[in-house]
Structure 1
Amino acid sequence: MSAVPVARLALSAIVLALLGGCASSPSASTPAQVAAAALPAQWYAPAAHHGELADLSRWWAQFNDPLLDRLIADAQRVSPTVASAWLRIEQSRAARATADADRLPQIDASANVQRGVYDSRGVAASSANGSITASWELDLFGSNAAEREGAQARFEGAQALWHDARISVAAEVASQYTALRACEAATAQWQVDADSRAETARLTGLTRRAGFDAPVRESLARAAAAQTHAQLMAQRAQCESLVKALVALTAQPEPALREALAASLGVIAQPREIAVPALPGALLQQRTDLASAERDVLAAAAHLTEERIDRLPRIRLNGSVGATRYQGGGFGGIGGAGIPSIDGSGSTWSIGPLSVSMPIFDGGLRAAKVEAARAGLTHAQMQYAAAVRRAVEDVEQALVSLQGTADRLADAEIAANGYAESLRATDARCRGGLGNGFDLEDARRASAQAQLAVIDLKRERVTAWISLYRALGGGWGATSPDAPGTDPVAAATPAAAAAGTAR
């Protein structure tokens, strides 16, 4: 047997062995299998009652608070987190375009012109030629296709993270805004409490000077009044901090924001209830972080495919077409006398060479890359499973908070109504001469403290609804459109921010 057939047989055996190795490699779990293993069969926290399966992307409009809508829009426009997510989309879009280009032929053009004297007779000659060359890698084993699949998965993941950034900013602004409104309402009640304790201290001073009370009771009354006044100052400072936080989030001028906030001081908006999907599996189509983690698994799987195929032969086809023109002798009046002008032109073309390259020995480099890619895929699968469990936990925690606040709020409102009724009755007795100022102020403070409990629970309940909104994906869906064309990086410039505040 000749050497050439033996070499061909050896090369064929190597290719078949590599292909067989790839075919026999164990297939990794798909994202659907990973999610199925991490999802529970049902919710184990009490679901929200009377909720509606509404479009969560417009859930903020149900607060009936135009200022909140505007603050959310402003915060999303200037958020550096949203801008960074947008830049990741642009980077992944460029990477996808690169992957698309790798699957197409590469075509280049070249041209040159030359003139000179090339022989001892001193005859000048000119030449010009141009050519177009093409090169195309035949993607027989799917390496370029796998690269494109990975780039597409990373692009979709970047889009999901952009939506996630917007949802997070909206939830943060709404939480801060709710906390501020609750703080304003609580400040009003602490003012009532402080005024009441100051009145009690004044009455105690009168009774002490009349000889009906000991000096220690006046001291205690004044101490209680001072302590409550300190609490009132702390409450006001907390409200100031929340205003500063909204200014930082929205990039609004503080005087304009304070003027807008003054229109509805202490009003805690109550959103419409949200219905939770019957099965936890619906989260896979709603959560942006799960969508991003799923795309990470797909991208890692595509990368593993690329590294496996990199161990196989690569085939590239080349070709060219060109034209040449030559002129010498009398051309341009430069040349020896009596030397005739020589003109010539022609064209050339070629198909080939058809080149095949295949790694024979690389010291284990490509095998190590395959193992690294396999470890990356396993890591992405673990991260995806963890994200699924975390998503379920977020929903369960929000449901537990909603149930707890619902039960406590009902009792707190009963208590607040009772103390308010007691205050009205005590005030009526005092006006009729059957009560005294101490009983009236005690009833006033009891009513104020009961109202503070209601305010705190309302804030906690709205915060729980916001957490549930965030946990359910904030209106994002697997079929959500691409990010709009507005560039948030340009929108976050000082000039754009100033234009936004002029509305």
Structure 2
Amino acid sequence: MKSSFSPLIRRIGVAFAASATLLLGGCSTLQPLPRLIENPQIPQQWGAHHSDNVRSIELQDWWQSQDEPELAELIEAAQNVSPTVATALARIEQSRAQQAQMVSKLLPELSATASSSKMHAPLYSGTYTQNQTGVQIGWVLDMASLSGVNTASARAQHESAQAQWHDARILIAAEVADLYHASHICRQQLELAQKAAASFGESERLTRLSLQAGMASNMALASARTNAADSRARLQQQHATCDIQLKGLVAMTAKSESDLEKLLLPVWARESTPTPFAISAIPAQSLAQRPDLYIAERDVLQAQAKVVQAESARLPRLSLEGFVGYGNFVFAGTTTNASTWTFGPLAVNLPIFDAGKRAADQLAAEADLRAALVTYQARVRQGVREVEEALVLLNSIEQRWLESRIIAEQARVALGSSRNLLQQGMINRLEYEDSQRQSWLADSTARTLDLERHRAWITLYRAVGGGFHPSTPSA
């Protein structure tokens, strides 16, 4: 059995190979899809100012470079539990499966078969049994040389899924960092709001005493009471803002509120400064690292593949089948062994009339390709705009932040002078309280710009791709 079955498999294999060589000898597999996108109006250099004095940092390591281990821990925790990241990972697995399907379509399909039947034969006055086992072979030959197109399309889809995963992680990191820094500044602002509320309360008390001594009016007391009530309301609002930000981090990281408070306590007590990073002076190099543009480019390549597929649907289709197996016949107690093989049918499917369906499919695919190209070019222009706007915003905030530090420092100097004047009896306590509040207000404004500065760097981080590298888009 074995000696007769193996040669048959070799013969059928040789027959298939010979047929493929004869039928496809004049065809060549299409190379991976060519790049259709050629310089969609990318400027030669950035119009907005960007500093060349900061060191270059790999953006995927930017969070670790900021000496904020708590931030890096929260980002990792949020990415691990993010449904957006999980969905992106699922798309990667689906794209891998589709890649495997595309490869499988290029190869013959083999399936094992086994059958047994018993039949009555009146002519021979008896029954006989027929048993058969074998391998069924089917192959749709690539007459239109679609193998390269299909595999390139599947590869583009897989690369797009990888970029979506990176984009999801970048978005989560930016959102966590925004909440992290907002919580940090909020706690500092809360401390200042507590001081301001206590100061306005003291001013109200002193004004009431002055009124009792005949040295202040009812209008002055009413104004002091209004300011004290307003400061207490602002303090409550600040409390609520800080609590909401903490609960936002709880939702994003899946950590308990008590664990987060323990983690962030040292953060709230220290100063935080963003680590600047340099971007490429050549816009094309920066834009090449944006996941959304990479995805849009993959969409163009997939749309082109669909055009080629629609064109091939109007061409003849050739399929080849075969069978090789072993069987036996049992009749009247006698067993007859036999091996069988078939080569064919070799079938040609030639489209003749379909009421214009295939032509319409091709026109639709070409329209989708044009739309994908326009979308890609629009995304490039939007990418340039986002980077330019981020640079303008960052430059503006950096200048305002420097001025706010000067104002806060001078307000502290003025407060020191007021303290000396109070000790010398040259001003009263009410005037000193007002000087304190002016200093705290200047400090509050500077801290607000601290947060805006952090956010401006995060915006630029996202605008230039957040460390995505198309050459190594792996999950």
Common fold by TM > 0.5 = yes
Alignment match of 1:308 (pick from 311, 322, 325): 311
TM-aligned CA distance change 1:70 to 1:92, over 3 Å: same
TM superposition shift of 1:177: 0.9
Find the aligned partners of 1:417 and 1:50 in 2 and give their Cα distance. 26
Aligned residue number for residue 80 of structure 1: 83
Report the count of equivalent residues: 444
Establish whether residue 32 from structure 1 lines up as the match of residue 37 from structure 2: yes
TM-aligned CA distance change 1:412 to 1:161, over 3 Å: same
Aligned residue number for residue 92 of structure 1: 95
Alignment of 1:42-81 (within 5 A): 42-81=45-84
CA deviation profile, 1:34-78 (whole Å, cap 9, x unmatched): xx1232222111113422221111100122122111110110011
Contact 1:283/1:391, CA 8 A, preserved across alignment: no
Alignment of 1:59-458 (within 5 A): 59-119=62-122, 122-265=125-268, 267-329=270-332, 331=333, 342-458=334-450
* 1:474 aligned partner, one-letter code: G
Find the aligned partners of 2:218 and 2:287 in 1 and give their Cα distance. 69
* 1:390 aligned partner, one-letter code: Q
TM superposition shift of 1:429: 2.0
Q: After alignment, is 142-151 or 50-59 more displaced?
A: 142-151
Secondary structure, counterpart of 1:272 in structure 2: coil
CA deviation profile, 1:392-431 (whole Å, cap 9, x unmatched): 1121111111100111111111110001011111112212
Contact 2:130/2:329, CA 8 A, preserved across alignment: yes
* 2:406 aligned partner, one-letter code: I
Find the aligned partners of 2:55 and 2:305 in 1 and give their Cα distance. 40
Find the aligned partners of 1:81 and 1:38 in 2 and give their Cα distance. 32
Structure 1: unaligned runs, 5 residues or longer: 1-18, 20-27, 332-341, 484-503
Contact 1:62/1:271, CA 8 A, preserved across alignment: no
TM-aligned CA distance change 1:202 to 1:392, over 3 Å: same
* 1:344 aligned partner, one-letter code: T
Contact 1:39/1:388, CA 8 A, preserved across alignment: yes
Find the aligned partners of 1:457 and 1:186 in 2 and give their Cα distance. 12
Two-structure CA RMSD over aligned residues (Å): 1.8
Secondary structure, counterpart of 1:324 in structure 2: strand
Aligned residue number for residue 4 of structure 1: none
Secondary structure, counterpart of 1:43 in structure 2: coil
Contact 2:287/2:465, CA 8 A, preserved across alignment: no
CA deviation profile, 1:263-310 (whole Å, cap 9, x unmatched): 232545212111111111013431111111111110110111011111
CA deviation profile, 1:469-489 (whole Å, cap 9, x unmatched): 111111110122421xxxxxx
* 2:135 aligned partner, one-letter code: I
Secondary structure, counterpart of 1:316 in structure 2: strand
TM superposition shift of 1:102: 0.7
Contact 2:322/2:345, CA 8 A, preserved across alignment: yes
TM superposition shift of 1:191: 1.6
Find the aligned partners of 1:125 and 1:367 in 2 and give their Cα distance. 55
Q: After alignment, is 137-146 or 205-214 more displaced?
A: 137-146
Contact 2:408/2:442, CA 8 A, preserved across alignment: yes
Aligned residue number for residue 7 of structure 1: none
TM superposition shift of 1:127: 1.9
TM superposition shift of 1:161: 0.2
* 1:290 aligned partner, one-letter code: L
Contact 2:303/2:368, CA 8 A, preserved across alignment: yes
TM superposition shift of 1:29: 9.5
Contact 1:51/1:272, CA 8 A, preserved across alignment: no
Contact 2:160/2:294, CA 8 A, preserved across alignment: yes
Aligned residue number for residue 14 of structure 2: none
Q: Tell me the TM-score normalized by structure 1.
A: 0.85
Aligned residue number for residue 18 of structure 2: none
Find the aligned partners of 1:176 and 1:301 in 2 and give their Cα distance. 42
Aligned residue number for residue 473 of structure 1: 465
Contact 1:48/1:403, CA 8 A, preserved across alignment: no
Q: After alignment, is 393-402 or 161-170 more displaced?
A: 393-402
Find the aligned partners of 2:404 and 2:113 in 1 and give their Cα distance. 83
Find the aligned partners of 1:311 and 1:89 in 2 and give their Cα distance. 32
* 1:447 aligned partner, one-letter code: S
Find the aligned partners of 2:431 and 2:266 in 1 and give their Cα distance. 35
Structure 2: unaligned runs, 5 residues or longer: 1-26, 28-32
Find the aligned partners of 1:252 and 1:387 in 2 and give their Cα distance. 36
Contact 2:287/2:464, CA 8 A, preserved across alignment: no
CA deviation profile, 1:97-120 (whole Å, cap 9, x unmatched): 111111111112211123354236
Contact 1:48/1:273, CA 8 A, preserved across alignment: no
Secondary structure, counterpart of 1:273 in structure 2: coil
Find the aligned partners of 1:97 and 1:160 in 2 and give their Cα distance. 20
TM-aligned CA distance change 1:267 to 1:358, over 3 Å: farther
Aligned residue number for residue 460 of structure 1: 452
TM superposition shift of 1:143: 2.3
* 1:370 aligned partner, one-letter code: Q
* 1:184 aligned partner, one-letter code: R
* 1:172 aligned partner, one-letter code: E
Find the aligned partners of 1:300 and 1:269 in 2 and give their Cα distance. 47
Secondary structure, counterpart of 1:37 in structure 2: coil
Q: After alignment, is 47-56 or 176-185 more displaced?
A: 47-56
* 2:264 aligned partner, one-letter code: L
